Amino acid sequence: MGVMDLRTRYLGLDLAHPFMPGASPLSNHIDSVLRLEDAGASAIVLNSLFEEDVVRYSAAPDRYLERLLRIKQRAHLPVIASLNGTTAEGWLHYGRIIEQAGADALELNFYFIATDPREDALTVERHVIDIAAVLKESLRIPIAVKLSPFFSALPNLAAQLDRIGVDGLVLFNRFYQPDFDPETLDTSLTIQLSTSADLLLRLRWIAILAGRVRASLALTGGVHDSRDAVKAVLAGADAVQIVSALLESGPARLKTIRQGFEQWAAAHDYASTNEMRGRFSASRAAMTAAAERSRYIDTLQLWQGGTS
C-alpha cells in the first residue's frame, strides 16, 4: 500500500490531516506557534478572547488582534480564532474585528453555567442558537460552536445549529471547577489536564452526531496518543484538537501522534482518513436509545465484586 491520504476538510478548510492544537496558552507566543507548525500542525486554534477581559481592563482587544496578525504573517497554516462573549453586542463586535484581522475561521466558545433556577433549558439553548445565528449572518468566515456536554437534548441542539448553517461543532468544552478548603471556606483554583479517560464522553457524542449533521465535527479533550486519535476518527471526527498532551510533552508530541495514527491505519489497510472516518458512528452502529440503555445495564453487570 502507498502513502496514506491523511487529508480532511474542516469548516470548509482543506487540511493536510485532522490533527491540530486546540485553544490553549500554546498560541500565546509566536515561537511556540512556529514549533507547532514545524511539528506538522494542520491548523491552530488560538486561545479565547474574553469579553470580560476587554471590559475589565478598559482596553480594545489590540493584543489579541496583533498576535493574530503576527501568526498570519509568520506561520503558513490556517488560524482559527476563538471568542467568548457575554453580551449579544460583544459577540458581534469582536467577531467582526477578528474577521477583519484575517482569521480563517472563528470558534464560538460558549462557556456558561446556568445557576438561576428561573432559567429553563430552552432559554439557555435559545441563547446559543441566537448568538450563532447572528454571527453566521454577519460574518463571511466559517463558524464553529464549541459546546459543553451538559445540554439535556444535545442532538436536537446540534440539529438546530446545523439548520442555521453553523459550519462546525466542537465537542466538548472542559469546565474547570474550583475546590475549597473546609477549614477556611476559601476557594482554590486548580487546573487538571485531561487524560485519555476524558475521551470516552467525546467519542460517544461524536459517534452519535456523525452522519446526522452537515456541520464538521471536531473532538477536543482526551487525545493523548495515537490510539486515542484513531478512536476519534473512527467515531466520526473531521478534526482532532489536542491540548493537554502538548502542554505536557511539547509540540513534538503532535508529530508522534500523527505518525502513530498513520502507522495504525496502514497496518489495518486503510488508504485514507476519509475511509476510516465514522466507521463506528451511530449511522453505522446500533446507537438507539434502547441500545444505549442495554449497554448501561451490561456495564453495571460487569462488576462482580462483593464481600466473601
Measured CA to CA, the distance from residue 46 to residue 68 in angstroms comes to 8
State pTM to two decimals. 0.92
Please provide the size of the chain in residues: 308
CB 239 within 8 A of CB 15: yes
188 pairs with which residues across the strands?
179
- Residue 288: predicted pLDDT: 65
- The per-residue pLDDT for 308 is 44
Class of domain 8-300: alpha beta
Report mean pLDDT in 10-residue bins for the chain, 308 residues: 87 98 95 98 96 77 93 97 95 96 97 88 95 98 96 96 98 86 86 93 96 97 98 98 97 98 96 95 65 74 64
In this structure, are strands 79-84 and 105-109 parallel, antiparallel, or unpaired? parallel
Look at residues 242, 161, 159 and name the one whose alpha carbon lies nearest to residue 208: 159
Provide the pLDDT for residue 8.
Answer: 98
Please list, in sequence order, all residues whose beta carbon lies within 8 angstroms of the beta carbon of residue 97, skipping any fewer than 6 positions away: 61, 65
Domain ranges of the chain: 8-300
Amino acid 111: pLDDT: 83
Annotate the chain with DSSP letters as a single string: ----B--EEETTEEESSSEEE-SSGGGSSHHHHHHHHHTT-S-EEEEEEEHHHHHHTT--SHHHHHHHHHHHHH--S-EEEEEE-SSHHHHHHHHHHHHHTT-SEEEEE-------TT--HHHHHHHHHHHHHHHHHH-SS-EEEEE-S--TTHHHHHHHHHHTT--EEEE-PPPP--EE-TTT--EE-------GGGHHHHHHHHHHHTTT-SSEEEEES---SHHHHHHHHHHT-SEEEE-HHHHHH-THHHHHHHHHHHHHHHHTT--BHHHHTTTTSTTTS---HHHHHHHHHHHHTT------
| Number of CB atoms found within 10 A of residue 98's CB | 23
Strand order in the sheet with 44-50: 19-21, 239-242, 216-220, 168-171, 143-147, 105-109, 79-84, 44-50
In this structure, what C-alpha cell is assigned to residue 173? Answer: 468544552
Q: Which of 94, 66, 98, 77 is nearest to 14 (CA)?
A: 77
Count of alpha carbons within 13 Å of 115, Cβ hemisphere only?
Answer: 3
Res 284: pLDDT: 60
Q: Which three cell numbers stand for residue 197?
A: 479517560
pLDDT of 178: 80
Rounded to whole angstroms, the Cα distance separating 18 from 231 reads 13
